[in-house]
Chains A and B, each alone.
Chain A
């Protein structure tokens, strides 16, 4: 696999929109061609070379291309936007929309990410070593089709609105989350290893949520129906099984109503 390296040498005054930082765009281009790719800082058109030193080679296809960003991207948005294949590694933080509208490939951010990580994602893998802000794997505003596939793994904490309007795929949060998990979900799995303050599964139609810690405020629309043993992300445990959101509409299959499942680890 060929690696192309971007080394940030200048911090943008506002925020840099790096919507071209993707193996699909970089493939087959020389470092100088990549340095002249368009980016935006507010209304000013910039070139990636204005902020990054570009070196290395790209592969013959996107899947053979690894982009290594060797430095902090706290002020760079849209890394890995709409990518379909290949890989991106960021040795530092990244800003909003990491892996937004992503279809395949993998992204590894070794620091924190801001909001909208994996927004409207369809496939691929995102691994965040630090914390994520709000809207992990959510839908775009007004879209009822949220995350459809792929995996997002956050090693730290996440904020609110995780997996809103989710239809498929998996989100794993290793630590705590704030509020609104799988709101309006019609599929997919969200696993939270830590605690959640509340509003887990609000307006949920279908899908699964696993919470290993505590839920401070359980929604009134969830009803406990029993205990169940599950093995999830390599951990076997007993869970209290809740169904809901009973206040929301639910489809019927073979005459039986299908509910969303919330599994809360029994202490």
Chain B
């Protein structure tokens, strides 16, 4: 009799849906069906049953081919490489749980590495703006129940976060928004006519790269000053109309994405957006939220801020303190400037996401990929270590885009002998301690993890 598991978390996008239902075969080894998930989430659940999925580490040989090796050999190689490197870079973590992030932090501290996550090429600039200007944010529940003017600035949830609009931002009927979509005014700011822009009541087709100018125009208008006839390719009348909608709203919600964080100005675009949110709060209620990409990309920001005081781009090579300054300690800059001599890619695909020049620089040195699947980073790596898939074969805590922690479930057993990220990094840490003849320091570790890692020993 197949078993239906309810309230399962979806390990795909930053909306981190936790209402998925998964039908599992009697032996608990195969996923038969998923319900409530979007098309991409559904695919993630079925992906684990792919027969071609690697189940043992593979190391590149001198002739360029990949050969299967044991986990012990892979762990030994990784530990030795990290110890030998003058400045290793450990990057990734969009798609793993907080337990794995905490475990890798111990490895990074031991290795004197730079610890960075996908925010570096994603919402990192948002962090910098938040450092400078604060973060007047809320939860997605508040958006659902209160927001009547929703602004999507440089983001396209219809494609990137498929259930975001139906669960939180446009369609759902909430406590004060019981008419759902009928009650909400949707404003899209995007240089292209995306599917989200098509849904919007007002689409401001901004000139690409001029977000800061438009934020400045809104702020100037809200303070009662005049603006030029056209700003960032948008007519003054349209700006005044949108500003009027915001002023008359009961609750304005600004969602922003890569269109803001990775066009010219980057953190300053978000900085201006935060200032606009603050200005709006003198007239009505307003809030702002980053459209985080992966289901737990908010996790490293939470875990590492607690452990080291910084959310990303953390240079631990000093030994005495953590240093963070994106532009210097950010992954792409480190790679382009040839400032690292070892690269570990965890739970992401730097091979696909980094500029080709950065990848070429990284490839001059040992390149290790930790990922459940075959991806571009695994295929160019010197060593590929497969792990269990979080949210499907491994439970754990994840942080949704509004920084709400959610306990994800395990629905089926992982392939035999394949460790989780947390187990793998704890074993690498133990091996590094053996090699350097030091005692492991189990700080920030959960009791059960401590017990299981001592069994490994």
Contact = CB atoms under 8 A, between A and B. Distances in A.
Interface of A: 13-15, 40-44, 96, 115-116, 134-135, 140-142, 144, 160, 165, 179-180, 183-184, 198-199, 202-203, 217-221, 223, 245-248
B339 A15 contact: yes
Task: Give 10 nearest A-B pairs by CB, closest first.
Answer: A247-B219, A42-B87, A43-B112, A142-B131, A42-B86, A247-B220, A220-B217, A220-B227, A246-B225, A43-B317
A96 B337 CA distance: 12
Interface in B189-219: 210, 212-213, 216-219
Contacts of B446: none
A41 B319 CA distance: 12
A115 B339 CA distance: 15
- In the complex, which range does the number of interface residues on chain B fall in? 35 or more
Contacts of A142: 128, 131-132
Interface stretch (B324-332, B374-382, B402-410): B324-332
Contact of A135 (B210, B227, B272, B327): B327
Given A42-B86, A42-B87, 14 more contacts: A13-B86, A40-B318, A41-B86, A43-B112, A140-B325, A141-B128, A160-B264, A203-B272, A219-B216, A220-B217, A223-B225, A245-B219, A247-B222, A247-B223
A142 B339 CA distance: 24
Contact of B265 (A13, A42, A179): A179
A158 to B, nearest CB: 14
B228 interface: yes
Nearest to B87: A42
| Max count, chain B CB within 10 A of own CB: residue among A42, A116, A165, A248 | A42
A202 B132 CA distance: 14
Nearest to B207: A217
A246 B223 CA distance: 8
Interface in B425-443: none
Given A43-B112, A141-B128, A141-B131, A221 B340 contact: no
B341 A42 contact: yes
A40 B317 contact: yes
Contacts of A141: 128, 131-132, 324-326
Contact of B228 (A165, A180, A220): A220
A199 B341 contact: no
Contact of A247 (B86, B216, B318, B338): B216
9 contacts: A14-B86, A14-B339, A41-B86, A141-B325, A142-B131, A203-B275, A218-B228, A247-B216, A247-B225
Contacts of B86: 13-14, 41-44
Nearest to A139: B132
Nearest to A44: B86
Given A14-B338, A15-B337, A42-B317, A245 B87 contact: no
Nearest to B333: A115
A199 B213 contact: yes
A131 B279 CA distance: 38
B136 to A, nearest CB: 15
Given A14-B338, A141-B131, A180-B265, A116 B217 contact: no
Given A116-B325, A135-B327, A198 B216 contact: no
Nearest to B323: A17
Interface in B86-126: 86-87, 111-112
B158 interface: no
A42 B264 CA distance: 30
Contact of A144 (B128, B132, B218, B328): B132
B268 interface: yes
A43 B87 contact: yes
Contacts of B319: 43
A220 B231 contact: yes
B246 to A, nearest CB: 14
Nearest to B214: A220
Nearest to B236: A220
A199 B212 contact: yes
B213 A220 contact: yes
A115 B327 contact: yes
Contacts of B340: 14, 42
